[in-house]
A and B are shown apart, each in its own frame.
Chain A
């Protein structure tokens, strides 16, 4: 074997080995983070988490108000982002597909998709907290809606574009008006893809913390009124983890564990729906 060939082969083996190492390195971090959250969270898990309020340091308590607040804030986000996102996707995929308008809005949507969430929080603070003079669950929900919106637009537009044009043509040939074709035929055919996008969006916003810090804020007590500040899991995790108290740390880990369980469970559900829906 010539020296050159040997050198080339050695370099090849080196790069392949380093790549494998990079892969193992990444998997190692994943395992480390998952393991910490599961072991710390599981040991802090107890039934009182779901029945008692967030406590003062040293007192017993749970996360009931924060769990309920989180559900409310995320629900507001989903209720706002879903119709706007799906309708916007219909415009992009059905009415303006392939045009410059769709290209531009899609481009802006992609930027919004990875825009820093803390900036969204500041924006909503300026828009909905400052004028009203107080933090509120509504403001938190609106901030989350803005984070979810681009995810829904993107995945719904992709799902709509995957509907074969024969379906569209067959429905139009029956004499149906276009809005009816779109709404009752195309959207229905794209439903698994759209639902996948919604679940992804819910998974993303249910762990979001930064936009809630200055919008929904926090609340030590039970509140079912979104016009008041609402306790929510991410902000409680943040405040409790940053505190010096061990029992607060335990509650923060329990919260982190619940959020992770929820997010990973949604991920699994998405996978199942997508497979069942015959998506690619």
Chain B
């Protein structure tokens, strides 16, 4: 028993639309607490208060593969952080290892600054490419962390093993690190080395937890439903041969 790709897409689309319009004002439709996002919010507020800088690392994945989804989650986080902290003494910066992500990050920041009415404070160095290969990207982002120019580093994007370098450097400089990626190797590394890791699909919940809108929350609920659908399908598919043999 299997669902085709189009059936999964159609089901997910219907669920997103359903949850977007149904119960949007229902306070009982709450999300479970994820300590990483709670601490990230606090870190953002503290950084604004004490005039320190946040670094959002968007990874080195492109936009032409499945790694694009985590890059978009990172861009969502960047937008939310910029809306909060853009007019502080030390505005947040975004680093990436891919040119396309860099362009999107610059666009995101530019629009955030325009929304806040401080367009004249935007400059292109707020979103920069620090390297074009994974480890060169990490190496380019390390000096800013080790010099304690940033008080917190949020890794939200497609990372590999180089994520461990960024989190280790943040730990060495006494900062706060939060990390999430779709790459399973980097998730294991982030679990060991980051202060607050995001495991599995928690990285895709960034928009919902950072207040990006009802559609983000709706898609999160849709994912929960689809997960249960997948579990049921696995169980049914596993038990079908048993029932077939009993006949």
The answer to whether A and B come from one shared complex is: no
Q: Which residues of B contact A (CB under 8 A)?
A: none
